[in-house]
Amino acid sequence: MPAPWLDQGAGGAGGQNVYLHHVAQGLVKEGWQVDVFTRRTTIKQEGVVDTAFGYRVVNVTAGPEELIPREKIYEHLHKFLFEVLRYQKEHGICYPIVHTNYWLSAWVGLKLHKIQGSLQVHTFHSLASIKFKGKSDLDEMDTIRISVEKEVLEKANSIVSTSPEEVKHLKKMTSALDNVSIISCGTDQRLFGTMDRTTARMFLNVPLDTKVLLYVGRLDPRKGIETLLQAVKNLISEQLNLLVLIVGGAVAGHEDSVELKRLKNIVLKLNLKDVIKFEGLVEHGMLKHYYAAANMLVVPSIYEPFGMVAVEAMASRIPVVASDVGGLRYIVVSGETGYVCPPSDHGAFSKAIDFILSNPKWGEEAGRKGRKRVEQHFTWDNVASKLNDLYKMLLEKYKKYRISAASELGFRTATRQVWHFRTEP
Ligand code: UDP
């Protein structure tokens, strides 16, 4: 069960929340005290929440107490920083490690590193240099983001990259790259893969003889859902009893609701309204029904820094057809646990989907292999254990520097606290 503050799959939040929840929980098991600082997005949120998972969430008032677009968050970061410093003062603590997630948090982490000597570990989750590739009219916020990402890459004590593909991009951004570790994202292998298809189909009211294609994730043009719709159009025939479930939420007034409208228009234009079903946001714990019910997951992203949904599907023993980009080309072993196809190439997607639907035994075997790969490489326990080793190594390596920086400010130095950081909704 995810924490109540998680709002995955809508409003731009997505996988980072799933990541933070599991990493925080795993680090607590490893013996760390973990405080997650986040921007308050509703007046209902209490200031400090002790979760049932052992970590604490500190909701900071910085900017309007409502969901706001990411581009509007930067202007509230000074206030965020001020509130963090105030919290530390009130509680007489100075976090020895600040693990920042996404570029907005990186900005605050850089300041804290400078002010109080906190060691900064950073995970990008998404890179501007890839996101804006080919974009000719960069606005002011894009330019600020690019410079913050470059600065954190050069100054953080450690960068946690989630895939070898991301490291390749980071190498292009700086001349010396000696602070990077690859620690991928994980999945909950005890949540996914514990349900059989018949039970899941009964739960979702889907007949057993229907072929089900599944998409899970945010509704964002970068996710390439249009490619899936086109691929389905190529496949459709009277003999094929096909259902496509699209799982992911949209918040009125946000970009995802614009994308939902656009996708619904494409569905109408392609005459697919009997085949495509928009399921809306599904609570993370309930997703296991969808993965178990599906014949495969399709991840047609134009770019994907990691792609946790692919790992969730593999843990659920179903094959994955994904774009040959980013983390997906590392997660999916093409020809073994599914297939990767060139992004936006709907012809290639429909061929791969058709092959798996026509060869159910191959699909089952791919599902088994996927599960094995997840157990070997992509569990949260694995991720937490690697982060534990990394933090311990950093505390040892920067011992002298940290103690002198903290004592200058009159702080006591703790060794087992870590502060995870998330500034976006
Ligand atoms: N998710 C969810 N419910 C939904 C849609 C998505 O719980 O309705 C979760 C999904 O299970 C996954 C995360 O949101 O854990 C998406 O992560 P991913 O890395 O695939 O994409 P991101 O959002 O980071 O781009």
Domains of the chain: residue spans and CATH? 15-186+379-422 (3.40.50.2000), 197-377 (3.40.50.2000)
Average pLDDT value over all residues in the chain: 91
3-class secondary-structure state, position 328: helix
Percent of all residues in the chain with a pLDDT value above 90, rounded to a whole number: 79
Res. 156: pLDDT tops 80: yes
What's the rounded mean pLDDT across residues 300-323? 97
308 lines ligand 1 (CB under 6 A): yes
Nearest CA to ligand 1 atom 24: 15
Q: What Cα–Cα distance (Å) separates residue 406 from each residue in 156, 379, 418?
A: 17, 35, 15
Q: In this structure, which amino acid lies at residue 32?
A: W
Gap from CA of 147 to ligand 1 centroid (Å): 28
For the CA of 185, the closest atom of ligand 1 is 19
From its phi and psi, is residue 14 left (phi > 0), alpha (psi between -120 and 50) or beta?
left
Instruction: Locate 210 and state its tokens.
Output: 């229907």
Instruction: Locate 395 and state its tokens.
Output: 């505390």
Gap from CA of 15 to ligand 1 centroid (Å): 4
- Count how many residues are written for the chain: 425
ipTM of the complex: 0.99
Q: Which pTM does this prediction carry?
A: 0.91
pLDDT higher for 58 or 424?
58
Could you tell me how many helices (H) and strands (E) the chain has, helices first?
16, 14
Report how far residue 64's alpha carbon sits from residue 83's, in angstroms, rounded to the nearest whole number: 14
pLDDT, position 416: 61
pLDDT, position 5: 47
Gap from CA of 281 to ligand 1 centroid (Å): 10
Q: Which residues contact 71 (CB under 8 A, 6 or more apart)?
A: 141
Q: Which of 13-17, 163-167, 249-253, 353-357 has the lowest mean pLDDT?
A: 13-17
What's the rounded mean pLDDT across residues 70-82? 94
Report how far residue 376's alpha carbon sits from residue 370's, in angstroms, rounded to the nearest whole number: 10
117 lines ligand 1 (CB under 6 A): no
Instruction: Locate 48 and state its tokens.
Output: 């400090």
Closest by Cα among 144, 134, 46, 72 to 103: 144
- Summarised one tens digit per residue, pLDDT across range 235-254 is 987 668 999 999 999 988 88
Q: What is the 3-state secondary structure (H, E, C) of 149-174?
A: HHHHHHHCCEEEECCHHHHHHHHHHC
pLDDT, position 93: 87
pLDDT, position 401: 67
**pLDDT band, residue 69 (cuts 50/70/90):** confident
